[in-house]
Each structure stands twice: as structure tokens, then as C-alpha cells.
Amino acid sequence: MLLGTQKINAQGRLEIGGCDALELAQQFGTPLYVLDEDAFRARCRDYRAAFEQLKPDTEIVYASKAALNRALCQIIDEEGLGLDVASGGELYTALQAGFPPTRLHLHGVYKTDDELQMAVEAGVGTIVVDNLEELERLKRFCPSPPIVLRIAPEVEANTHPLIRTGQRDSKFGFHLLNGDAERAVERVLNDSAFVLRGFHCHIGSQISDLSAFAAATHAMVAFAQHMRERYGYVAPLLNIGGGLAVCYTPEDQPPSVQEYAQTLVNALREACQQHHYPEPALGIEPGRSLIAEAGITLYRVGAVKQVPHDNPNLPREYIIVDGGVSDNPRPQMYGARYTAVHVNRRAEPHDHPYRILGKHCETDPVIDCALLPATQLGDVIAVLTTGAYAYSMSSQYNRYPRPAMVAVRDGTVRVIVERETYADVVRMDR
């Protein structure tokens, strides 16, 4: 679980991006989000290299819901990827960062009129349309950007139910069985206000089974061929979304980016050959798999308790840290599992079981069973693989200010999100 540039330095402590993690905690306080910038950039380049070798016309768009701020927008721009934004706030952040609007994709199951107007006025490159009502509202804004239609492909991915997005009961996209998908295509093709780039789908997140992505690709090509037979429309682009799994624990063995790319490209070509369909450009939207492993969260231990419970699955020693559900709600929302390491004594055996919990006014487990060296008040621990959906889902629950985020690279550190203060907590109160 030494991910990215992480290593054990000469003092036996955790090092990331050439920076001593204990010194980061002392200088910037805890909780602290730390971004391994080289690891993030390397992952972007892995995606580009894998798809450029197999299918150069693949459009790689970072799903910014995983984590977004102005610095991240600038990194994505420098690495040559597109940017998928799913709200007015994400769109505004990208524009404030100077991200090229033509490489922006606006997503969302319900885009308000204000969000659509902002996107049109900014000149975003693509709007991913989710429903028939949105088509009618989008016509008010002229000229409309090119669009793709989001299709629910009836593929049920093997992942947590709350992060499945392409199955039969999904709230997302135009469904096949009730005819909405075909009606949407007919409506768009019969209206000169729209330029249809192609079709889009997304089946979920943290998916290790590559066959699910292949199934979605086959379903999308079959739908595209049906639309070709019915309306004579040949889609220039099929976007298969994102969702590739990452490594949260030593037991996790997610597929490589190269295996993922090979699966998608092979499935696309097989399906196109089967249906005698002209091969379209491919679109993908990696989010978690680009940034998750590049992030860690540093916490300081505030208490170690002996708890006399009878649950054989939980350690009786509890560690209370200075963060929790407000800086990472995923363990509570999804039962997400993480790995912790001891920053001060990273080189020592991690063989003592602890239950790590947050400091909030409810039971907010961080990790139910973490293996660490003997740990005491004041020690610093790092929770790994928190680059995705920790910062982006953080809150001010219990009126705790949100943590800072720093980017580390080649022994240098820069603050890319300031730590909130108590003044920030009450700033909007009236």
C-alpha cells in the first residue's frame, strides 16, 4: 500500500511527494488532505497512453465530481484531458480556473435554467442531456451547444447499490424499455436547434468486473444501430462513462488502465463488427480512478479507549481522531473500507487492531478494523486513497471547518485549498 510516490523515509516515517507527512501535519494542521501531484499526473498520462495506443480518437474527460478545485482544473488542463462538470458550481469553478470551455461537458440529472444558461453563454463543448423536459428547456437558449443523449443501458454493475447508475431502476438518462430513448432521438433529429454528437451511458462506480463495461458497450452499439436503421443517424461518438475501481485495501486488485482500455476498445470493435456499424469515436469519463490513490488524509489521534463490547468482529481498542464524517462521509454512506498507516512509525509492523472513529456527535467510523503499531494520544495517522469523494463530499457538520488541501511534488508543498476558519462557518449566517 505504498501508492504513488509514497515511501518510508530515513526516519521511518511516511513520505509523500518528497515531503515528510508528519512535518506536513505539524505545519498545516489536521485533518489535512494531501494530493500527490505526480501520482495524479502520472495516472492522467497512463490513461492517455493506453487509449492513444489502441484508439487515438478516444475522448478522455475527467469526472470532476470526484474532486474539484481550481488547482485540479489547471492540472487536468495541463495534462490535456477534458472536464466533466455536473453542476453550476463545478462549471463556475472550471471557468474561474481558466479551463477551456470547449473541453467542458455539462452533466446532471436536473440542470436548472440558470445552469443551462451559464453553459451556453460560456460556450461549453458538450451538454449531456438526461431527459425530455431538459430538451425542451434547452431550446430556449440559442445557439445550443452540441449535445449527447444519456442512455440507461440496462446493465447492473456489481457495486454498491447507491453508486449504480445504468440499471433498470436508475434515475439517470433515457430508458430503453419505455421508449424514452428512441423518442429523444426522434425529437432531436427533427429539430434543427440541436446538434447531436452521439450517445452516452454510465453504469456505476468502483467497478472491478470489466465484463460490465463490455456489456454496456455492446448495449450502446446495439442501440446506435437501431437508431441508424430507424432514422438513418450514425452516431459519431459513444461515451461509455467511467467507474473503474481503485485500491482501497491490500486485498483490492482492480484492473489496470491498460486492461480497461483493451476491454472497451475490443468490445466496441466486436459490437460494431457484429452490427455492421461504422466504428465511432470513444468517450470515457474517469474520475475516482484518476485521483483516488493520489490522495491521503492526515489525522491526529485525540484519544485511545478500551471499550468492553462483545462484538467479535470489532477491536476493543478505539482510536478517536480529529476528523470523521464531515471530511469523509463515505464509510457511513456506503460502508466504504479504507487502509490506515501510522505516519510517525510507518516502518514498524502494523499488527495491532484498532477501530478508528471520528469526533462527531454520532458513531462515525473511519475504519472498523485498522492494523497499526501501538498508537497513543498525539500520533498522526494517514488514511490512504482518499483523493476521490472525500473533499468533494465534505461538510460543516457539527460546524467543524473543512480541512485544507495541499499538493506535494518533488519535496515542495503548496496550499491549493485554505483551511476554513470559524469565521467561515458563520459567514453566511444572518
Query: Is the Cβ–Cβ distance between 407 and 413 less than 8 Å?
Result: yes
184-223 burial, b for 16+ CB within 10 Å, e for fewer? Answer: bbeebeeeeebebbbbbbbbbbbbbebebbbbbbbbbbbb
Instruction: Yes or no: say if 240 and 283 are a contact pair by the CB < 8 Å rule.
Output: yes
Catalytic residue among 19, 201, 361, 369: 361
Sign of CA dihedral 162, 163, 165, 167: negative
Query: Cβ(233)–Cβ(253) under 8 Å?
Result: no
The rounded distance, in Å, linking the Cα atoms of 90 and 103 is 14
361 catalytic? Reply is yes
The C-alpha cell at 409 is 511534488
Which residue type sits at 217? T
CA distance 94 to 89: 9
What angle in degrees, to the nearest 10, is found between the helix axes of 70-78 and 88-96?
A: 70
Q: Which of 183, 269, 276, 287 is nearest to 230 (CA)?
A: 183
Write out the catalytic residue numbers. 361
